[in-house]
Amino acid sequence: MKKILVITNNDSVWLKPAWVNVINSVHNQFEFNLITLPEKKIKNMNPAIYYFRTFGLKNFLTLAIFSTLRQIKFYKTNKIAFSKYRSMNLNFFDEDMIEKKILTFKPDIIFITCSYIIPEKLLQINKDILWFNKHASLLPEGKGVFPYIYNTINGLHQGISFHYVSESIDSGDLVYFEKISPKRSMVDFYKEIYDNFDKYFMKFYKNLEENVRHKQHQQGSYYTYPDKKVLKKFYKAGGRVVSMEDIFSE
């Protein structure tokens, strides 16, 4: 049985439920261990302050309601899957503790869904370990953060990509990618990805087993955290952050 170490943000709205789906779907095929990390500050701000200032009061309150409903909905399953015997909750990116976990657990695969850049020292601990990441865009387009917003502005297709971790952000060889049909909002797009993450994960793993590997030959595009000016372009292009339908669908 292959061992998978997951290094993820301590996100009870999206990432933890996504990994719960994966673990419950493939627990007979893999042994999982998990490391959770706190959200990084955004532009030296608490993420909540950034969201309020950038997305505005209406979107902020709607997102808050949506997030609360998700946390309640997944509280029990998150707690079971991320139990003490399987997961390690860190208060900061503790490189020494992560290295210790890698050396003791001896994973075959390390999958990261966190907002931290992995130091070269960790990537080189054991060259037999395969490191992977997921990105919510069709790479090489939309590297960086909030790709949905920038892809909407630029009239590009939305999608998901699974890739090897390299020194450059979102630039590793691709193992699996899939176009995702247009959604009513950014939140609806994330629901498609994370509520079906087990499905996408198994497609990725099937390709990995078949040695599918594509170089990212094009430079693509890289984006940072959007500000109000970017959001205006997003709205003008027909984009929506969240809708009441997203809340009712929970």
Query: What pLDDT sits at residue 107?
Result: 98
Please give the single-letter amino acid code of residue 184.
R
Beta bridge partners of 32: 4
The partner residues of 131 in beta bridges, in order of sequence, read 110
Whole-structure pTM value: 0.94
Three-class secondary structure of residue 6 per DSSP: strand
Cβ(234)–Cβ(149) below 8 Å: yes
25-78 per-position pLDDT tens digit: 998 899 999 999 999 999 889 999 999 999 999 999 999 999 999 999 999 999
pLDDT tens for each residue of 79-112: 999 988 789 999 999 999 999 999 999 999 999 9
81 three-class SS: helix
Using alpha carbons, select from 102, 111, 76, 118 the residue that is nearest to residue 197: 111
Let me know if domain 2-248 sits in CATH 1.20.58.100.
no
Extents of the domains making up the chain: 2-248
Beta bridge partners of 248: none
Q: Flag whether pLDDT at 169 surpasses 90.
A: no
How many residues would you count in the chain?
A: 250
Least confident stretch, 100-109, 121-130, 160-169, 231-240 = 160-169
What pLDDT band is residue 17 in, cutting at 50, 70 and 90? Answer: very high
pLDDT interval class at 171 (50, 70, 90): confident
For residue 162, CA distances in Å to 50, 111, 153, 213 come to 28, 10, 23, 10
